[in-house]
């Protein structure tokens, strides 16, 4: 963007801001869900600035229906006194993952294994296109957390435990999503969650981060500097605390470090229901510009902020700063000239060229941890292959959380190819599916055993959280899948579907070949292409790999500060044929 264009935008922002009432300014700072009761009326009467799509009622059945719903809401906004257009936001964290039929890419942990910034940029471009095609101009991605403990339920949303890898892929992701922001095929990106979300003590979602100021600066802040340098449009505050201070109330980090120190001129958006969770106007005074005023928070937020201005506990300059940032991004996106989505983009959703890139990402993300006696690649001439495990026959299970539904799916979804389907494309021999390893196909040439985690998202994935019975190991059932065939002398290839490294030391010992396949998204046949040798393995571990549960008795996982804890595999490990 030219400096001349920047100046023109700033002039437009100031001209518009000077006309706005307090009620209109607070409206711009408010974000609601499109399916909430009275959403249409609130947009018009309460001057809402942005709309979010979350788990809940869909905008419609087809992408065109989605666009029509958002056009309807946009027309409500444009009919207000000043006609300020809406931002439409979605958690598109591995593709436009809320729309069934979209291209679903491997989660970020898998992209960290590729270390391919050109691929990550291309994935972000496609995500932007398919998001715009369903009516969105703002995505809450990329997550640039740096996870320190595999017990955290969001490890897979981040690229790597390495600051350097995270910096490289952050740059690529922001560039891909945003491109020329005024282009109808790009969206505003969001770097999240600022800051320390992945480095909480014992990996607790929204817990306390007790790292020193120096450690936060050296390890966690630099990806945000990269994102800001790439002109990322938004940053989302995180749920965690730092040294006991909630990030949503942490003015020293939100305002002094991010906005002033890094010269971030975009939107600082809150996370879910932050106003009611983190002491109301303290959130605004700390530097948050847009509040997710959802689940009954809208009235409390708007009335509370107006009251804060009246009693002097919130300064008007803080409100003006927030609204300037919101208007600035709306002008940069070209929404005043082109407020509606492009119907022509709908044909691109889930198309073959997009799926080709997703399949490439699967292939490049696979990490080969063991290959005894060069069992892999498998011969396409094998007479009989037995495939074991429910994960092999479910695109939902292979994709993880944030896939169609917030917590993911257990079954297949539209447009996807599951692992079993992909394997059947590759071989001339017989493939039999033995879901629970009870079929006793002991005449098979090889057993491909697919094991792993069930889908989860956010705190539902925290190891040790009361909402689940998750462990850092495989379930006994999945351990038995491997034993059932290995104990009969069948060669076994184990495929691990997981959102994090798990303690599978014994299972690696038992197997002939072992592959970390992460959460691969909609293109399961990418795995088959590598197993049968159409492509070689190229993925490298984005995290050090734990050897035992004992490694997690301290705050963090293996390979952090405590050199006495040796991981089973170092970060960067990965075999080839």
**What tens digit of pLDDT does each residue of 547-562 get?**
999 888 888 877 565 6
129 — pLDDT class (breaks 50, 70, 90)? very high
The CB-side HSE value for 262 (13 A sphere, CA atoms) comes to: 25
pLDDT at 1 over 50: no
How far apart are alpha carbons 135 and 128 in whole angstroms? 11
The CB-side HSE value for 126 (13 A sphere, CA atoms) comes to: 25
Mean pLDDT of all residues in 216-236:
97
Q: Which CATH class is domain 3-18+25-347?
A: alpha beta
Which sign, positive or negative, has the C-alpha torsion 52, 58, 64, 68?
negative
CB 109, CB 159: distance < 8 Å: yes
Q: Cα 176–333–123 angle (5° rounding)?
A: 15
Q: What is the pLDDT of residue 561?
A: 57
Helices (H) and strands (E) in the chain, counts: 20, 17
Q: What is the pLDDT of residue 151?
A: 96
- Rounded mean pLDDT of the chain? 96
Q: What are the structure tokens assigned to 343, written together?
A: 């119907």
Q: Catalytic residue numbers?
A: 271, 458
**Tell me: the pLDDT tens digits for 357-401?**
999 999 999 999 999 999 999 999 999 999 999 999 999 999 999
Candidates 221, 202, 247, 222; CA nearest to 560 is 202
> What would be the CATH architecture of the domain defined by 366-552?
3-Layer(aba) Sandwich (3.40)
Query: According to DSSP H, which parts of 194-336 are helical?
Result: 213-215, 222-229, 251, 274-277, 281-286, 297-311, 316-332
How far apart are alpha carbons 231 and 245 in whole angstroms? 28
**What percent of the chain has a predicted confidence (pLDDT) above 90?**
94
Burial class of residue 208 (count of CB atoms within 10 Å of its CB; 0-12, 13-18, 19+): middle
Q: What is the pLDDT of residue 559?
A: 57
Secondary structure, 3-state, 241-268:
EECCEEHHHCHHHHHHHHHHHCCCCCEE
How is the chain split into domains, by residue range?
Answer: 3-18+25-347, 366-552
């Amino acid at each position: 963007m030219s400096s001349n264009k920047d100046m023109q935008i700033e002039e437009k922002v100031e001209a518009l801001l000077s006309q706005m009432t307090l009620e209109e300014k607070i409206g711009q700072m408010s974000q609601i869900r499109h399916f909430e009761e009275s959403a249409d009326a609130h947009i018009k009467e309460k001057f809402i600035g942005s709309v979010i799509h979350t788990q809940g009622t869909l905008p419609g059945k087809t992408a065109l229906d989605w666009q029509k719903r958002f056009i309807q809401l946009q027309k409500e906004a444009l009919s207000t006194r000043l006609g300020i257009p809406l931002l439409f936001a979605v958690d598109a964290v591995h593709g436009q993952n809320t729309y069934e039929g979209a291209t679903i890419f491997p989660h970020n942990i898998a992209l960290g294994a590729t270390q391919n910034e050109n691929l990550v940029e291309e994935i972000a471009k496609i995500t932007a296109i398919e998001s715009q095609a369903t009516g969105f101009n703002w995505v809450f991605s990329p997550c640039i957390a740096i996870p320190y403990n595999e017990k955290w339920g969001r490890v897979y949303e981040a690229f790597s435990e390495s600051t350097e890898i995270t910096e490289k892929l952050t740059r690529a992701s922001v560039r891909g999503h945003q491109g020329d922001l005024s282009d109808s095929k790009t969206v505003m990106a969001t770097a999240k969650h600022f800051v320390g979300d992945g480095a909480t003590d014992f990996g607790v979602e929204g817990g306390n981060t007790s790292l020193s100021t120096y450690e936060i600066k050296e390890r966690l802040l630099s990806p945000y500097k990269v994102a800001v340098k790439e002109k990322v449009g938004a940053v989302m505050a995180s749920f965690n605390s730092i040294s006991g201070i909630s990030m949503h109330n942490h003015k020293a980090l939100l305002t002094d470090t991010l906005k002033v120190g890094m010269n971030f001129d975009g939107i600082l958006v809150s996370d879910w229901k932050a106003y009611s969770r983190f002491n109301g106007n303290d959130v605004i005074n700390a530097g948050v510009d847009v509040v997710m005023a959802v689940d009954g928070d809208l009235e409390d937020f708007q009335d509370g902020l107006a009251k804060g201005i009246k009693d002097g506990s919130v300064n008007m300059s803080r409100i003006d700063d927030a609204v300037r940032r919101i208007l600035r991004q709306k002008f940069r996106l070209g929404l005043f000239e082109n407020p509606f989505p492009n119907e022509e983009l709908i044909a691109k959703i889930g198309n073959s060229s997009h799926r080709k890139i997703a399949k490439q990402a699967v292939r490049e993300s696979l990490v080969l941890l063991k290959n005894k006696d060069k069992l892999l690649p498998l011969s396409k001439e094998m007479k009989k292959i037995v495939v074991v495990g429910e994960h092999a026959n479910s695109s939902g299970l292979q994709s993880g959380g944030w896939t169609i539904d917030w917590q993911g799916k257990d079954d297949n979804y539209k447009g996807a190819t599951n692992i079993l389907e992909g394997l059947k494309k590759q071989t001339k021999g017989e493939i039999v599916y033995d879901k629970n390893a009870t079929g006793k196909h002991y005449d098979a040439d090889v057993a491909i055993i697919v094991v792993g985690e069930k889908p989860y998202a956010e705190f539902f994935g925290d190891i040790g959280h009361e909402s689940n019975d998750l462990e850092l190991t495989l379930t006994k059932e999945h351990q038995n899948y491997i034993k059932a065939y290995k104990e009969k002398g069948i060669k076994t290839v184990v495929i691990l579907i997981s959102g994090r490294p798990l303690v599978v030391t014994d299972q690696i010992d038992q197997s002939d070949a072992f592959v970390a396949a992460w959460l691969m998204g909609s293109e399961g046949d990418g795995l088959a292409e590598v197993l049968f040798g159409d492509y070689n393995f190229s993925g490298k571990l984005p995290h050090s790999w734990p050897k035992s549960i004992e490694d997690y008795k301290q705050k963090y996982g293996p390979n952090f500060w405590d050199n006495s804890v040796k991981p089973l595999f170092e970060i960067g490990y990965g075999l080839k044929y």
